[in-house]
Amino acid sequence: MGSVRVRESTQKLFLDFQYCGQRCREQTALDNTPANRKKLESILKKIEAEITLGTFEYHRYFPNSSKAQEFTKQAEVQRAREAHDTPLFETFSKDWLDEMKIQWRRSYISTMEGTLKNYLNPQFGEKEVGHITKKDILEFRASLAKVTTRSGKRLSASRINRIMTPLRMILSEAANRYEFSSPYHGIKSLKVPRTDVEPFGIDEVKQIIDTVRPDFRNYYIVRFFTGMRTGEIDGLQWDHVDFQRRQILVRQALVNGQLEYTKNDGSFRTIEMSQMVIDALNDQKRATGNMDFVFCTRNGGPLSHNNVTKRVWYPLLRHLGLRDRRPYQTRHTAATLWLASGESPEWIARQMGHTTTEMLFRVYSRFVPNLTRQDGSAFERLIRQNFDSPSIPETSASIKAQETVDEQ
């Protein structure tokens, strides 16, 4: 049973009642007078009667209340369930995105918004989420394979999978809320061809570091010998360089020009610095030590990786006659050099931000023999040293073969 009460601090009346298992207290601007109490008691009786009949609509009585939107959504869900009806995809996806934003980095939110705007809403926006079928999903995915980019290329399997991911998540959430079976169930991601890892050899690394313009020499030394990702090194600040402990603390990354927390828990790590990296950073400190960012523009702002890649990286590779490779290959190079030098795989995994050593052996191990010559040549030398020796007795078969040749 509800009641009309007075708030001590303001001496204004408010309604106190139960709705949908929740206690609701709605403030009014009415003073505590007998006439106003009588007026509110009449309204409260009407509210409770409508609650009993199931016709009460919270927003009609309290349109500015924070609870109005909450109860309106609940009512819509309930009506949809009773009518076996569901909201439009565009409406549901907007609510879903608003609820999920708190969990994601700004860059990921931007990606999701772009995917919804450019791909999913144009295709499914006017359809009810509960009426989307597996056939609709597969036809949509097939249509993506025919889309061409500005450069005239078709969308890759990896890109198509990234577009489909939010669709799967949205339909899964809608299925849980409105109690239907997700049509996405059983649809597997497209197979993505494995991208070749193309690390630089130690001679190529030396060429690059010896030839690169002086203001970027320290930058590439740190890239090649720490395995840091582009966003991590571009977002590196002096606060996260510990010369005393010889460590770089990876705590953030520069994504789309903004600092964000690291990609995942594994990326949040501490990198042990080699002497060459320490020397490079000490030299860099003389140039940018009064700035926030370790590697920055003249005005102290972070580097634009697109500009660095186009104006420094690719021109340098072409000048040296080296095959074009993405700057990310500096990270792969660090991994192969550490493996080749005999460092512990567990230590390398920590340096790289990998949670296990599995990726190291799966991705990089085939490059190590070429760097260390531990590719079967050691076994070859062992055989030559022992079996090419004059002291090795000839087998009877070989002697007999020789005799046969001599007789002829």
Q: How many CA atoms lie within 13 A of 283 on its CB side?
A: 14
Nearest Cα to Cα of residue 283 among 221, 211, 232? 221
What's the whole-number mean pLDDT along residues 117-122? 95
In whole angstroms, how far apart are CA 376 and each of 154, 298, 325, 369? 42, 51, 29, 8
In whole angstroms, what is the distance from residue 48 CA to residue 350 CA? Answer: 62
User: With 70 as the cut, is the pLDDT of residue 45 above it?
Assistant: yes
User: With 90 as the cut, is the pLDDT of residue 255 above it?
Assistant: no
The CATH number of whichever domain residue 150 belongs to comes to 1.10.150.130
Q: How many CA atoms lie within 13 A of 17 on its CB side?
A: 25
pLDDT, residue 389, reads 45
On whether both 114 and 59 belong to a single domain, the answer is: no
In whole angstroms, what is the distance from residue 135 CA to residue 152 CA? Answer: 28
Helix (H) or strand (E) holding 15: strand 12-19
In whole angstroms, what is the distance from residue 186 CA to residue 183 CA? Answer: 8
What's the whole-number mean pLDDT along residues 91-106? 92
Which tokens go with 391?
């002291």
On whether both 296 and 312 belong to a single domain, the answer is: yes
- Domain enclosing residue 136, as ranges: 89-178
On whether both 316 and 227 belong to a single domain, the answer is: yes
Identify whether 378 is part of a domain: no
On whether both 9 and 74 belong to a single domain, the answer is: yes
The CATH number of whichever domain residue 343 belongs to comes to 1.10.443.10
On whether both 97 and 229 belong to a single domain, the answer is: no
Count of residues making up the chain: 408
pLDDT, residue 265, reads 66
Q: How confident is the model at residue 59 (pLDDT cuts 50, 70, 90)?
A: confident
- DSSP per-residue codes, 179-210: T---TTTTPPPPP-PPPPP-PPPHHHHHHHHH
**Contact of 314 with 300, CB cutoff 8 Å:** no
Identify whether 152 is part of a domain: yes
On whether both 309 and 352 belong to a single domain, the answer is: yes
Summarize pLDDT for 207-237 with one digit per residue, the tens: 999 999 999 999 999 999 999 999 999 999 9
**Contact of 260 with 107, CB cutoff 8 Å:** yes
On whether both 148 and 275 belong to a single domain, the answer is: no
**Contact of 55 with 46, CB cutoff 8 Å:** no
On whether both 109 and 234 belong to a single domain, the answer is: no
Identify whether 196 is part of a domain: no
Looking at 82, 105, 130, the residue that finishes a domain is: 82
In whole angstroms, what is the distance from residue 28 CA to residue 199 CA? Answer: 70
Does this model's pTM top 0.85? no
What's the whole-number mean pLDDT along residues 356-378? 66
User: With 90 as the cut, is the pLDDT of residue 193 above it?
Assistant: no
Identify whether 156 is part of a domain: yes
On whether both 168 and 310 belong to a single domain, the answer is: no
Number of domains in the chain: 3
Which tokens go with 160?
């198509």
Q: Is the sign of the CA dihedral 26, 27, 32, 36 positive or negative?
A: negative
What's the whole-number mean pLDDT along residues 270-279? 93
**Contact of 254 with 301, CB cutoff 8 Å:** no
On whether both 253 and 324 belong to a single domain, the answer is: yes
Average pLDDT for the chain: 86
Phi-psi label, residue 382: left if phi above 0, alpha if psi -120 to 50, beta otherwise: alpha
User: With 60 as the cut, is the pLDDT of residue 16 above it?
Assistant: yes
Which is more confident, 375 or 263?
A: 263
Q: At what angle do helices 106-115 and 157-178 cross, to 10 degrees?
A: 90
User: With 90 as the cut, is the pLDDT of residue 400 above it?
Assistant: no
Q: How confident is the model at residue 266 (pLDDT cuts 50, 70, 90)?
A: low
Q: Is the sign of the CA dihedral 327, 328, 330, 336 positive or negative?
A: negative
Which tokens go with 226?
């720490």
Identify whether 136 is part of a domain: yes
Which tokens go with 402?
């020789």
**Contact of 229 with 211, CB cutoff 8 Å:** no
Identify whether 68 is part of a domain: yes
Identify whether 396 is part of a domain: no
- DSSP per-residue codes, 14-42: EEEEEETTEEEEEEEEEES-HHHHHHHHH
Looking at 112, 144, 178, the residue that finishes a domain is: 178
In whole angstroms, what is the distance from residue 155 CA to residue 190 CA? Answer: 12
User: With 90 as the cut, is the pLDDT of residue 302 above it?
Assistant: yes
pLDDT, residue 17, reads 92
Looking at 82, 103, 123, the residue that finishes a domain is: 82
On whether both 72 and 142 belong to a single domain, the answer is: no
In whole angstroms, what is the distance from residue 324 CA to residue 316 CA? Answer: 10
On whether both 65 and 102 belong to a single domain, the answer is: no
Identify whether 394 is part of a domain: no
